[in-house]
Amino acid sequence: MKKLMLAGLVAVLGFAPAFALAQAQEKIVVGQVQSVDETGTEITLTDGTKLLTPLGSVIRPRALQERTMVVAMYLEENGDKIVTKLSLTQSAPVPSSASEWPKR
């Protein structure tokens, strides 16, 4: 009987991390890339939002250009926003100065 209870406890504890992850609320943010740090692990959006890549993942140099519009899904862990999915939007980048706006 004790072995059965111990096996049940081990099974429950084994699933605890997966259950906790499933309970985490995935959030979404849409924004424009301001910069990607030189390590390729942090994206800063123009609104100041900082997104971190998952442990062991990096963004290739020049893969994300400034002013690129992105849609990011993320989980919050210890106050950090850890990216779970990153997509580029189809909209054109917003010009940073009036001289870049199309002429009429």
pLDDT tens, position by position, 36-94: 999 999 999 999 999 999 999 999 888 888 999 999 999 999 999 999 999 988 665 55
Name the 3-class secondary structure at 42. Answer: strand
Please determine, for residue 24, whether its predicted confidence score (pLDDT) is greater than 90. no
Spatial separation of the C-alpha atoms in residues 86 and 41, rounded to whole Å: 13
Q: Is the pTM of this model over 0.75?
A: no
Nearest alpha-carbon partner for 20 in 64, 73, 62, 77: 77
Please determine, for residue 2, whether its predicted confidence score (pLDDT) is greater than 50. no
Q: Which pLDDT score is estimated for 15? A: 47
**Domains defined for the chain, CATH in brackets:** 26-88 (2.40.50.500)
